[in-house]
């Protein structure tokens, strides 16, 4: 099977076992001692990424890439197998920042590498923490518009790494909430960033914001 014809759902877990701290490349476990608001000393066990550049305030970026289509705006999404959840996950394009790289620069690069699309940054969010009770991983959400009329967005040429198997697709923004429910029913996991965006659109619709 070629990389082009493979599907995210074709991946399978073979085994799971404990990882020694000395062998961990991407993450590390930390025990933090702190005082609570009443002055009691407590400890907190958590994880940290080992890859954040020293000159960067963030680990990575999430990319809200909007495809400008005649039928209406569509959100660019990916299907990618994620071993920790044993499933293919519905995600937005995302990636880690390189040393000396801004969030906007990282987003444009990651979008091109993972999907082949060339986009223009329109907004960078405040720093967001993915799961602050468990780890210090953070990111900027970067809004990118993709002009589908441009020649470079017609013949897409992603630059995937050997261990990346990504299926790219898009969904109408107005149907995102319903489509997340459908995809979950089909066995996909929904990344929190996609789910939160869908929830936001649904709340705005229901409350006529």
Whether residue 131 is predicted with pLDDT greater than 90 in this model: the reply is yes
Please answer whether residues 180 and 192 qualify as being in contact, where contact means their C-beta atoms are separated by less than 8 angstroms: no
- The residue among 108, 137, 134, 120 whose CA lies nearest residue 50 is 137
Cα separation, 103 vs 88, whole angstroms = 26
- How large a percentage of the chain has pLDDT more than 70? 98
**pLDDT at residue 110, as a whole number:** 98
pTM of the model: 0.94
CA quadruple 75, 80, 82, 88: dihedral positive or negative?
positive
Cα separation, 62 vs 64, whole angstroms = 7
- The average pLDDT across 51-55 equals 96
**pLDDT at residue 107, as a whole number:** 98
């Amino acid at each position: 099977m070629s990389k082009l014809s493979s599907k995210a759902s074709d991946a399978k877990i073979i085994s799971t076992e404990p990882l020694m701290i000395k062998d961990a490349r991407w993450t590390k476990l930390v025990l933090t001692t702190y005082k609570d608001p009443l002055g009691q000393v407590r400890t907190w066990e958590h994880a940290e990424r080992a890859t954040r550049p020293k000159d960067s305030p963030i680990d990575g970026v999430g990319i809200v890439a909007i495809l400008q289509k005649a039928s209406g705006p569509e959100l660019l999404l990916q299907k990618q197998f994620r071993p920790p959840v044993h499933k293919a996950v519905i995600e937005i394009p995302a990636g880690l920042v390189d040393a000396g790289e801004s969030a906007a620069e990282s987003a444009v690069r990651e979008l091109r590498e993972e999907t082949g699309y060339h986009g223009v940054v329109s907004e960078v969010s405040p720093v967001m923490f993915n799961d602050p009770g468990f780890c210090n991983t953070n990111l900027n959400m970067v809004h990118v518009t993709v002009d589908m009329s441009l020649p470079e967005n017609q013949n897409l040429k992603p630059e995937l790494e050997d261990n990346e198997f990504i299926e790219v697709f898009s969904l109408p923004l107005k149907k995102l909430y319903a489509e997340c429910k459908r995809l979950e029913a089909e066995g996909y996991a929904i990344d929190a960033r996609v789910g939160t965006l869908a929830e936001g659109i649904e709340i705005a619709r229901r409350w006529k914001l």
